[in-house]
């Protein structure tokens, strides 16, 4: 709870290392001088040699110019690296905190084990945030019955797990990670005996929960046999409390991968929260205070009006000491992202970010906007358009908290694959479809429109806000790298090419940032 005296204190502090900035900029100046001498030497070669060998000289000089250009663009990362400290204890009382919709995306149990997905779901439900302001959506892009059944089992187990976490102040709120530990230093309990008794009870319930999910996957009645497949199935939405969303997919219509699976329309109809947490199904909430940390920025009166999202780093629990493939992506989250944070902020990193719904839907709906104009952008649903105009007012539910049948039927229409036809979804509204790297493209376009972002990395003495699994073998790394690289090339060759799109709206050194993001966004792409 926030005290009255804390309202005048800052919710976060941004600080930079001046010595590091001086060293980085001095190095950039010296390196630029060296490159200038190199260019002078190469060009003077034409005038000093009577019969120069043009082709080898041209190839060598071209390669040096390209590498120098990439290096020059990359200076944006080290121009002004900053680090942030948050004070969530200074936030206002819980009744003044805004609601949050949590989206967890999964494709199917074949590639993403169901138990792991459910652990991520349970960790999101257990966030240190007012329960009535937290809505968790499981976006199952495969429409598997086992995933729906496991989610129902998760809700039953959550009745045991959530009270246990809150009663004893458990910090690790992913059940699998918590029970796999041999030590019990994760609790604030003052009565160790009662704590150990309760812990054993919860552990027994968790073992039973896993067994029920495992059996469900083996029994034929929960196996996905029939006329529907992962690429061809109707929409399905389950309420209340947790929300299971499986959008309609047809083989005749392109589904746009994760960008199409994040169904903002369904959540607007059922909860309509002003903020959204995006999570991959293998990235669980390791620090239950991450939501409050993000709100430290969204509650900043100076920063909030232009703040689109707060990005947290990706940390991984399956990385070995000899990480020969750099699966941890250390350079991105320890060097590049703090550098971006000193300019306009980092772009979206696919997961672990709290984003403002207004930034995704591109709206601050005015009452004088023509209804036809709204339908051209957002589709024909009057109920959905009304939700945009209600200033994030939660839809009316039944007395027991359940959504009405009418509301669920409308949500199914919004999840259909044909709803986006002849609208601006994927073009100007929501996650953009022009690239498989939808996170980078969407974040970049937001910044070109004037939005900024913030990056919050854990200190050396604190725990990572999110933990997940990463690629640990060469085959998976190459597959992931090809996807990232091809997505960035898509952006570079599209109408959103950072060399041209939005360049006039960004000042130096920020003007170096957009093209350098395409070249250096991921370790799989060219990097200086």
Give the strand order in the sheet containing 315-316: 283-285, 466-468, 315-316
pLDDT tens per residue, range 328-352: 888 888 888 999 999 889 989 889 9
Note the pLDDT of residue 255.
Answer: 52
Band (pLDDT 50/70/90 cuts) for residue 57 is: confident
Query: For residue 399, is pLDDT > 90?
Result: no
> Looking at the structure, do residues 271 and 207 belong to the same domain, yes or no?
yes
- Which of 7-11, 85-89, 238-242 is predicted with the least confidence, judged by mean pLDDT? 238-242
Note the pLDDT of residue 212.
Answer: 93
Query: For residue 439, is pLDDT > 80?
Result: yes
> Looking at the structure, do residues 230 and 292 belong to the same domain, yes or no?
yes
Return the DSSP state at 222.
G
- The answer as to whether 211 is a domain residue is yes
Band (pLDDT 50/70/90 cuts) for residue 179 is: very high
Using alpha carbons, select from 329, 311, 333 the residue that is nearest to residue 447.
311
Query: For residue 434, is pLDDT > 70?
Result: yes
Residue 463 CA: distances (Å) to CA of 339, 350, 420: 22, 21, 41
Which of left, alpha, beta for 257 (phi over 0: left; psi -120 to 50: alpha)? left
145: its two tokens: 């019955």
Task: Decide if 370 is catalytic.
Answer: no
Query: For residue 437, is pLDDT > 70?
Result: yes
Note the pLDDT of residue 208.
Answer: 96
> Looking at the structure, do residues 113 and 160 belong to the same domain, yes or no?
yes
- The answer as to whether 195 is a domain residue is yes
Among candidate residues 52, 80, 108, the one where a domain is terminated: 80
pLDDT tens per residue, range 21-32: 999 999 999 999
Catalytic residue from among 101, 128, 141, 282 = 141
Catalytic residue from among 128, 140, 341, 439 = 439
Is 95 one of the annotated binding-site residues?
A: no
- Which of 120-124, 318-322, 480-484 is predicted with the least confidence, judged by mean pLDDT? 318-322
> What predicted TM-score, i.e. pTM, was given to this entire model?
0.86
- The answer as to whether 436 is a domain residue is yes
Query: For residue 476, is pLDDT > 70?
Result: yes
Q: What is the mean pLDDT of residues 213-220?
A: 76
Is 96 one of the annotated binding-site residues?
A: no
Note the pLDDT of residue 227.
Answer: 41
pLDDT tens per residue, range 58-114: 899 999 999 998 898 888 888 899 999 999 999 999 999 999 999 998 887 888 899
Residues 272 and 394 sit within 8 Å (Cβ to Cβ): yes
Using alpha carbons, select from 443, 428, 432 the residue that is nearest to residue 348.
443
Residue 437 CA: distances (Å) to CA of 70, 77, 111, 442, 521: 20, 20, 20, 9, 11
Using alpha carbons, select from 463, 443, 462, 464 the residue that is nearest to residue 454.
443
> Looking at the structure, do residues 38 and 164 belong to the same domain, yes or no?
no
> Looking at the structure, do residues 234 and 276 belong to the same domain, yes or no?
yes
- The answer as to whether 330 is a domain residue is yes
Is 112 one of the annotated binding-site residues?
A: yes
> Looking at the structure, do residues 161 and 275 belong to the same domain, yes or no?
yes
Note the pLDDT of residue 508.
Answer: 47
- The answer as to whether 206 is a domain residue is yes
Terminal CA-CA length for the chain = 47
Note the pLDDT of residue 355.
Answer: 95
> Looking at the structure, do residues 160 and 64 belong to the same domain, yes or no?
no
Q: What is the mean pLDDT of residues 411-440?
A: 84
> Looking at the structure, do residues 226 and 268 belong to the same domain, yes or no?
yes
To the nearest 10°, report the CA torsion of 283, 284, 290, 292.
120
Band (pLDDT 50/70/90 cuts) for residue 527 is: very low
Note the pLDDT of residue 1.
Answer: 43
Euclidean distance between CA atoms 129 and 166, whole angstroms = 11
> Looking at the structure, do residues 182 and 265 belong to the same domain, yes or no?
yes
Is 280 one of the annotated binding-site residues?
A: yes
Query: For residue 157, is pLDDT > 80?
Result: yes
Most confident of 33-42, 48-57, 458-467: 33-42
- The answer as to whether 294 is a domain residue is yes
Percent of residues in the chain assigned helix, strand, coil, to nearest 5: 50, 10, 40
> Looking at the structure, do residues 181 and 129 belong to the same domain, yes or no?
yes
> Looking at the structure, do residues 201 and 239 belong to the same domain, yes or no?
yes
What is the CATH number for 273? 3.90.550.10
- The answer as to whether 142 is a domain residue is yes
Euclidean distance between CA atoms 155 and 463, whole angstroms = 27
Query: For residue 234, is pLDDT > 80?
Result: no
Note the pLDDT of residue 190.
Answer: 67
User: Can you give the length of the chain in residues?
Assistant: 528
SS (H, E, C) 479-523: HHHHHHHHHHHHHHHCCCCCCCCCHHHCCCCHHHHHHHHHHHCCC
**Cβ count within 10 A of residue 452:** 17
Note the pLDDT of residue 505.
Answer: 56
Note the pLDDT of residue 232.
Answer: 52
317: its two tokens: 């629990």
> Looking at the structure, do residues 260 and 156 belong to the same domain, yes or no?
yes
Buried/exposed code over 51-65 (b: 16+ C-beta within 10 A; e: otherwise): eeeeeeeeeebeeee
Task: Decide if 439 is catalytic.
Answer: yes
Among candidate residues 80, 103, 127, the one where a domain is terminated: 80
Return the DSSP state at 335.
I
Residue 98 CA: distances (Å) to CA of 11, 71, 526: 16, 42, 41
Strands (E), 60-187: 82-86, 100-106, 134-140
- Looking at the structure of the chain, the number of domains it has is 2
Band (pLDDT 50/70/90 cuts) for residue 237 is: very low
Residues 513 and 75 sit within 8 Å (Cβ to Cβ): no
- The answer as to whether 2 is a domain residue is no
| Cα 413-416-422 angle, rounded to 5 deg | 95
Percent of the chain at pLDDT > 90 equals: 37
Euclidean distance between CA atoms 332 and 349, whole angstroms = 10
Contacts of 76 by beta carbon, 8 Å cutoff, 6+ apart = 339, 340, 343, 509, 510, 512, 513, 516
348: its two tokens: 């979206």
342: containing domain: 94-358+431-473
Across the chain, mean pLDDT equals 82
275: its two tokens: 């903020």
How do beta strands 100-106 and 353-356 pair?
Answer: unpaired
């Amino acid at each position: 709870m926030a005290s009255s005296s804390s309202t005048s204190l800052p919710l976060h502090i941004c600080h930079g290392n001046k010595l590091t900035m001086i060293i980085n900029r001095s190095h950039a100046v010296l390196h630029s001088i060296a490159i200038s001498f190199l260019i002078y030497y190469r060009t003077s070669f034409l005038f000093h040699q009577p019969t120069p060998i043009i082709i080898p000289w041209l190839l060598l000089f071209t390669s040096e110019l390209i590498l120098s250009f990439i290096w020059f663009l990359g200076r944006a990362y080290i121009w002004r690296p900053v680090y942030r400290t948050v004070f969530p204890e200074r936030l206002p009382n819980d009744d003044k905190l805004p609601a949050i919709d949590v989206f967890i995306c999964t494709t199917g149990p074949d590639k993403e084990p169901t138990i792991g997905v459910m652990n991520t779901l349970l960790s999101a439900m257990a966030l240190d945030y007012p329960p009535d302001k937290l809505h968790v959506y499981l976006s199952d892009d495969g429409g598997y019955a086992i995933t729906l059944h496991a989610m129902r089992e998760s809700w039953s187990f959550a009745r045991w797990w959530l009270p246990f976490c809150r009663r004893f102040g458990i910090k690790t709120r992913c059940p699998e990670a918590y029970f796999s530990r041999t030590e019990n230093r994760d609790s604030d309990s003052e009565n160790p005996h009662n704590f150990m008794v309760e812990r054993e009870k919860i552990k027994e319930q968790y073992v039973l929960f896993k067994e029920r999910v495992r059996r469900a996957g083996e029994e034929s009645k929960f196996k996905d046999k029939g006329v529907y497949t992962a690429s061809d199935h109707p929409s399905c939405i389950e309420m209340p409390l947790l929300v299971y969303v499986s959008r309609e997919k047809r083989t005749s219509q392109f589904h746009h991968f994760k960008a199409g699976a994040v169904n903002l329309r369904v959540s607007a109809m059922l909860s309509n929260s002003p903020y959204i947490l995006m999570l991959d199904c293998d990235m669980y909430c390791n620090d239950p205070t991450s939501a409050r940390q993000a709100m430290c920025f969204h509650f900043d009166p100076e920063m909030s009006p232009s703040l689109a999202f707060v990005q947290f780093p990706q940390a991984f629990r399956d990385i070995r000491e000899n990480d020969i493939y750099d699966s941890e992506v250390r350079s991105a989250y320890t060097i590049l992202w703090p550098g971006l944070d000193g300019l306009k902020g980092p772009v979206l990193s696919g997961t672990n970010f709290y984003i403002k719904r207004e930034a995704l839907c591109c709206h601050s709906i005015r009452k004088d906007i023509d209804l036809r104009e709204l339908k051209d952008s957002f589709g024909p649903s009057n109920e959905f358009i009304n939700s945009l105009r209600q200033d994030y007012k939660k839809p009316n539910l039944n007395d027991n908290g359940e959504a009405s049948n009418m509301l669920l039927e409308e949500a199914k229409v919004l999840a259909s694959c044909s709803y986006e036809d002849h609208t601006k979804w994927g073009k100007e509204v929501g996650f953009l479809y022009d690239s498989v790297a939808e996170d980078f493209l969407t974040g970049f376009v937001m910044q070109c429109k004037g939005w900024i972002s913030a990056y919050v990395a854990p200190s050396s003495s604190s725990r990572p806000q999110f933990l997940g699994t990463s690629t640990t073998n060469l085959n998976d790394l190459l597959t992931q790298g090809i996807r990232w690289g091809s997505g960035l090339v898509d952006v570079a060759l599209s109408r959103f090419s950072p060399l041209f799109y939005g360049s006039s709206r960004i000042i130096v050194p920020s003007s170096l940032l957009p093209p350098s993001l395409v070249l250096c966004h991921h370790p799989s792409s060219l990097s200086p």
